[in-house]
């Protein structure tokens, strides 16, 4: 595998992760003003299913089955043969299909810069802001416990 292939693979992992977490309404809104997506043919789905969510004791200990989660997947093919895939949490068929279309379009070198700027970067910024807000709310509830080691300092 060449360095470019690895870089493209890492870029694709990033945008697929962002698309998987993007709400349908937000994705549609960003695409309204952006470039028109090429027509796509469904290869698989969209279809809903369940996946087993695994956890670890203390974050690094023994693995255990936490429970099941609904997931929707979709695969599409553009006229030029490019295939796009998407997996999204929940049961939103339209979200999975649109995310797969965007994934396929992002693989086109001519469409990628504009889609990255107008869609992916904005979604990433919104998701980062949500994570920062959640972290701030969690930090506000943090309790500092005194231990013997702290008291000796």
In a domain, 145, yes or no: no
Q: What's the rounded Cα separation, in Å, for the pair 68 and 90? A: 11
In a domain, 146, yes or no: no
In a domain, 132, yes or no: yes
Provide the strand spans (E) within the chain. 40-56, 63-78, 83-89
List the domain range (segments joined by +) for residue 72.
3-140
In a domain, 23, yes or no: yes
In a domain, 120, yes or no: yes
Mean pLDDT in residue range 63-85: 95
**Tell me: the pLDDT tens digits for 107-144?**
999 999 999 999 999 999 998 999 898 888 888 887 77
Q: What is the pTM of this model?
A: 0.81
In a domain, 81, yes or no: yes
Q: Is the pLDDT of residue 96 over 60?
A: yes
As a whole number, the mean pLDDT across the chain is 88
């Amino acid at each position: 595998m060449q360095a470019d292939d690895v870089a493209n693979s890492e870029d694709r992992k990033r945008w697929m992760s962002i698309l998987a977490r993007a709400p349908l309404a937000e994705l549609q809104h960003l695409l309204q003003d952006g470039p028109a997506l090429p027509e796509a043919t469904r290869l698989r789905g969209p279809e809903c299913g369940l996946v087993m969510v695994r956890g670890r004791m203390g974050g690094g200990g023994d693995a255990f089955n936490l429970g099941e989660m609904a997931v929707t997947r979709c695969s599409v093919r553009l006229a030029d043969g490019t295939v796009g895939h998407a997996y999204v949490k929940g049961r939103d068929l339209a979200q999975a299909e649109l995310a797969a279309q965007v994934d396929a379009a992002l693989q086109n070198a001519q469409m990628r810069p504009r889609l990255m700027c107008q869609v992916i970067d904005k979604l990433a910024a919104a998701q980062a802001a949500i994570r920062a807000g959640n972290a701030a709310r969690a930090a506000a509830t943090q309790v500092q416990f005194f231990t013997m080691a702290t008291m000796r300092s």
